Structure 1
Amino acid sequence: MTDAVIDSWRTTLPCTRAEAEAIDAGAVALDAVLMTTEEVEDDREHWRLDAFTENEPDAGMIAALRALVPSAAGVEPVVEPLTAQDWVTLSQAGLEPIREGRFVVHTSAHPIAPPTGGRAFLIDAGQAFGTGHHATTAGCLAMLDGLADRRFANAIDVGTGTGLLAFAVRHLWPEARVMATDIDAKAIDVTAENMAANQVGAIDLVVADGALADPITAGAPYDLVIANILAGPLVSMAPELAAIADANATVILAGLLETQRSQVVAAFEACGCCLEAVDRRGDWTILRLTAGAVRYVPTTPPDPKGRDGWALDL
């Protein structure tokens, strides 16, 4: 009998909800896919951190994971190899379909038909954020659904992850030009695969660090700008995002905690934007702003190398 091939490894440690939220909200520089899960419903103390790696974790990786979850001090991590039933399948096994307005998002393990007049998207869990199951992504879907009566001609999804939000834009405004960008080339590959799986077409895919890459500025200005990333990058990228937005453009921001709302809003108000709507989902907040009546032009072009590194939420 042939031994099963080990595809990857999973390391598990207990954590608290506060630690899980800090992991979800922060850019963690580890060569691992991190996933936090509520173990006991509405219990702040019983959460779990799973770290998926291609190779067996060494002492350095274990120490780095322990540093993320101080409450697990003294707890021995569970390290297990994964074979054909790899970490992608395991991570999506418990992801039930979600419904936001006319949209349904599901994995291969839980197929579901869309509502009448709606649209279902197949988005399997993988190495890019945006399955729709995180409050920020679901909230962005709801925000877009609420804008269905408006007209947009040129939209961009910065930090697209799986491409889900760009797909929703393409469904709502089939005549619009749509661009989806990400700092991670792997995320753009995932988006292309999801486009094919969902038969979504006519989306320009761009690998870019920030919003000032040539393909992005060449397509500006955009009358719909979406950025579901992290609070720190949103603040530092505010001049970039405002610079590619058309006058009176709609700007949707997510990936921030409610406690971070004021600093994000202040950064965009300084660039001429005005807060129009807020959707709070637990500790997470989704913002809708309107760009100024005059297109914003920074007096000093933002320096991409001066920004904090930004990454997609898990």
Structure 2
Amino acid sequence: MATPRPPAGWPGLDGAAERRFALLVIGDAGIEVRASLPDVRFADLSADRLCYAPARALVAGTAVNLARCAAGYFRRVGVLAKIGDDGYTPVIRRELRRIGADDHLLVEAGAPNGVSVMLRDRPRGGGPGVRLLVVHDEPPGRRLTAPEVAAASAAIEDADVLVADGYSVLSPVSRAALDEAARIAASAGTRVAFDLVPHDVDARLPASDVLPALARADLVFSEAPTLARLLGRPAPSRADGVRALLPVLDREVPGRPLWLLRFGATSLERVLAYRRGRPPVEYATGYRDGVERAGFGDRLASCELYWWLSGG
């Protein structure tokens, strides 16, 4: 599992010198509005406030965000997502073309595209600030079906790795679609990576709905506190607490996935990599004060996926 260099050292956070492998990501695709509020803290607000700050609208969602970063590492990147049918639909397709990702989008006739709003307030003491994320409550991705995934089986079979995330588990419909995707991948020898989000998934679903997705994965990304809470354990922030979680993973989750457990002051500074039967390896992610937080997790995941497929 271990290599002499951690992922942030090789291939690095800015892309790979040689693009290799094929990645297919299943997840959300939609429109997001982002803004950072340089002179406002949410905790200080007691009345309506007008703020002028840098704001932008972009094509985003878990699948698009990862694909955008993965395009700097992988020879081929594809996005399998269910989207709406409105004026944003051609915008989403155009963005996939721009980043060089294969379009495996499924359009739900008459449905609006999902829209999210992300606001980050002024940080306290040099931290990243508090993020408020408001997401369309029933985006099209929650209605991706198992037959629709089966119809896209060729794209899964042609990939070296299939990446999915926990937002697909939130709906029974898309959860069944994820089950079908994992089944197809296993039959084809395509590896499966799973990102355990949202970070409060433990408050949204019982562990029994989430653990099967972890058991089917060959690699799991997770903030260590999220995984610990899901398993009914105290949320760790230090390496010793994360290491204490490893026997629990061995007991609760079958198989031998590679766990990439993120932890630290903001659950992003360090990773403990662990696979059953092998000693854990700890490394720094490269995140520190002054590094742009938005999108860093997807940069890191793309880097780690390439590292893993290369023998890391």
**Aligning the two structures, in what range does the TM-score lie when normalised by the shorter sequence?**
0.3 to 0.5
Structure 1 or 2: more helix by fraction: 2
TM-score, normalization: structure 2? 0.36
* TM score, norm. by length of structure 1: 0.36
